[in-house]
Amino acid sequence: MSSNLFDLKGKVALITGGVHGLGMAMAKGLAHAGAKIVVNDISNNAIDNALKEYKADGIDAHGYIFNVTDEAQVIAGIAKIEAEVGPIDILINNAGIIKRTPMLEMEVADFAAVINVDLVAPFIVSKAVVKGMIARGGGKIINICSMMSELGRDSVSAYAAAKGGLKMLTKNMATEWARYNIQTNGIGPGYFATSQTAPLRVEGHPFNDFIISRTPAARWGDPEDLQGTAVFLASKASDFVNGHVVYVDGGILATLGKASNED
């Protein structure tokens, strides 16, 4: 077996929305495997703060501002990245939003906004990037799906619809682009310890207790738990892996859960 199966030296990776949280954790994983990191956002402040954090971790990342739902901005942004940093070898469609509103109370505009960012944007960005990948003879696309690609939950109808659609878009990208030596796969994170979930992860909080009891690994995920999967799907190690979603969830999707009287 080659010793450099997971080596990403010389590769350029674009992580959309990779300015915090799980996107940043995956980007750092790729960087430590040798990739040159590019992140995007719609906020100057978010980009500046993210680049400082990357630098503190020894990573010389590059930041670009464009809206992933605007095709003209995406095309211009991709062209600028490839001219200034290099051709994009790895794309992680990570940018996303969620609106927690019961369906009966949800405005159509809010539903559409979630679909636009979480499902339409990966189509727009992938389409813009893949043309160069085809011309160069290969590439890696990783779509950030969710457990909501498989399961429903109260108040996240738009998010679940988008992430379910993203799972199938991933399969269709693989169907159409695998012949060009482009591997398209997804990652479905479970429940992770991030700044956003900090208020829920207090001992005794009902949701914290629910997640601990519902997860066979009996803990929240650490953002670094995503890095190995991201590196695998971005590297030569996955050159014949196409159209799959890898759920990094501590086993939640593998089990019905425990009864209330079980240990």
Residue 250, domain CATH: 3.40.50.720
**Domain encompassing residue 226:** 12-190+222-254
Per the structure, the count of domains in the chain is: 1
Burial class (CB in 10 A: 0-12, 13-18, 19+), 132: middle
218 Ramachandran zone, left/alpha/beta (phi>0; psi -120 to 50): left
The number of angstroms, rounded, from the C-alpha of 262 to the middle of its chain's C-alpha atoms is 34
Mean of pLDDT values over 57-67: 98
Query: Is residue 16, in this structure, part of any structural domain at all?
Result: yes
- Looking up tokens 């499902």 gives 119
The identity of residue 226, as a single letter, is L
pLDDT confidence bin for 203, thresholds 50/70/90: confident
Of 159, 180, 191, 247, which one is the catalytic site residue?
159
Note whether residue 248 is domain-resident.
yes
- Annotate 50-68 with b (16+ C-beta within 10 A) or e (fewer): bbeebeeeebebbbbebbb
Query: pLDDT digits over 180-196, tens only?
Result: 999 999 999 999 999 88
- Per-residue pLDDT at 244: 98
| Residue 210 placed within a domain | no
Kindly state whether residue 216 falls inside one of the protein's structural domains.
no
| Residue 7 within any structural domain of the chain | no
Q: What percent of the chain has pLDDT over 90?
A: 92
pTM of the shown model: 0.96
Which pLDDT value is given to residue 200? Answer: 86
Residue 205 lies in a domain: no
Q: Is residue 199 part of a domain?
A: no
Query: Is 64 annotated as catalytic?
Result: no
Q: Rounded distance, CA 98 to CA 114, Å? A: 6
Q: For residue 226, is it within any domain?
A: yes
